[in-house]
Chains A and B, each alone.
Chain A
Amino acid sequence: EPEVTQTPSHQVTQMGQEVILRCVPISNHLYFYWYRQILGQKVEFLVSFYNNEISEKSEIFDDQFSVERPDGSNFTLKIRSTKLEDSAMYFCASSPGGGGGWQPQHFGDGTRLSIL
């Protein structure tokens, strides 16, 4: 069964540094997402991406965040100047076209980001 893959599984970065989290969504999916889960808390929506554009972003997704689909397979989340509070598990997800909100999102295994 096709799956969403994320790399790296764990990223340790010094505060203030830039970090790029990478994702390969399921190949025939059209919609791509990033979510964040601070340890022990709920999963929070960051951004959705469709047709090479951001379709929706949350209040968390401020100017230090950006997303890109540089080629036909990868989907990246960049955090420009990391802060301690950016430490979290970041999940990438994708969903197929059609069906409105009916289609389930398929999640990757996540990247644990630790800011020192």
Chain B
Amino acid sequence: AQKVTQAQTEISVVEKEDVTLDCVYETRDTTYYLFWYKQPPSGELVFLIRRNSFDEQNEISGRYSWNFQKSTSSFNFTITASQVVDSAVYFCALSEWVTGGGNKLTFGTGTQLKVEL
């Protein structure tokens, strides 16, 4: 069965600090996909980034970057120069293709990020 672990329950940083959110996953699939979603205080779930299992190249998109390491089953997410608006719960999710069609997401328990002035 798929499993996603986010060991950090809550992180507090001061604005402009960099912050890394950890994610460790378990899967038996050889091809899989990983996602990060953001849930601000208003409650909606917002897609941020994705990575497939056969591409370990790390990427940067604006203030976001991610580090995917298949050897350690980790998919960490970094926010550079954090801002107060980054305060939210961040969820890591593992995608499993469903035979009948579609993909099922298994979410971690989330990390609450608080960015203070």
Residues of A within 8 A of B (CB): 30-33, 35, 41-45, 48-51, 53-56, 89, 91, 93, 95, 100-110, 112
Let me know if B109 and A31 touch, CB within 8 A: no
Chain B at the A interface: SS class: strand
- Complex: A95 Cα to B95 Cα, angstroms: 12
Let me know if B33 and A102 touch, CB within 8 A: yes
Let me know if B102 and A48 touch, CB within 8 A: yes
Let me know if B100 and A56 touch, CB within 8 A: yes
Residues of B within 8 A of A (CB): 31-33, 35, 37, 42-47, 50, 52, 91, 93, 95-110
Q: A43-B91, A56-B102, A104-B47 are in contact. List 11 more A-B contacts (CB 8 A).
A: A43-B107, A44-B107, A48-B104, A55-B99, A101-B32, A102-B95, A107-B44, A107-B45, A107-B46, A108-B44, A112-B43
Let me know if B105 and A105 touch, CB within 8 A: yes
- Residue numbers in A under 8 Å from B100 (CB-CB): 48, 50, 53-56
